[in-house]
Amino acid sequence: MTSRRFFLLSGVAIAAAAAFRGFRPEAIAAETFEVTKTDAEWKAILTDEQYRILRHEDTERPFTSALNTEKRKGIFHCAGCDLPVYSSEAKYDSGTGWPSFWEALPKAVGTREDTSLFITRTECHCSRCGGHLGHIFDDGPQPTGMRHCINGMAMTFSPASAA
């Protein structure tokens, strides 16, 4: 098979996997969350992109979120329920195009196995509302060695007040 054919077929496979990725109700149905809303209620409080990411496990394009380059001290919150999920103290530039952190705030993030792209990854979500945040990989910096690769649209940022 030529390189060009392989490249084209690989692209088709990736596109097909992404099309089938979407919302996995069976994964969320097994968990209960403090904040629950109907689909209509989520649509009413989130932007279209936030809704697709948080409620249907979509992914924003890399390098499109202003939070990727956010350098101020402060706290990142879940855009769905406002739970503080990450501190700027754990943020670093991974070069991937998404906000990256080496750890979440205590008890802020839940995880589950994600096999949607024909590989096994660790999906992470808000522990209070179940909103999809991103994925966790084991190629991050010390002290944890983890990289929480998070969709910027899944979060809001509150800068620390200058006291």
Tell me the pLDDT tens digit for each residue of 27-83: 445 678 999 999 999 999 999 999 999 999 999 999 999 999 999 999 999 999 999
List the catalytic residue out of 124, 126, 129, 149.
149
Among 13-22, 60-69, 123-132, which is the least confidently predicted range? 13-22
Say if residue 26's pLDDT is above 60.
no
Instruction: Return the pLDDT at 162.
Output: 61
Catalytic: 78? no
Say if residue 114's pLDDT is above 90.
no
What's the order of all strands across the beta sheet hosting 155-159?
A: 84-87, 74-78, 155-159
**pTM of the complete model:** 0.81
Give the closest residue to 53 by CA, choosing from 25, 80, 13, 16. 80
Distances (CA, A) of 11 to 5, 14, 128: 10, 5, 36
Instruction: Return the pLDDT at 23.
Output: 43
- The per-residue pLDDT of the chain, averaged, comes to 85
Say if residue 22's pLDDT is above 70.
no
Say if residue 20's pLDDT is above 60.
no
Instruction: Return the pLDDT at 102.
Output: 98
Instruction: Return the pLDDT at 73.
Output: 97
Instruction: Return the pLDDT at 4.
Output: 42
Average pLDDT over residues 147-157: 98
31-56 b/e (C-beta count within 10 Å ≥ 16 → b): eebeeebeeeebeeebeebbbbbbbe
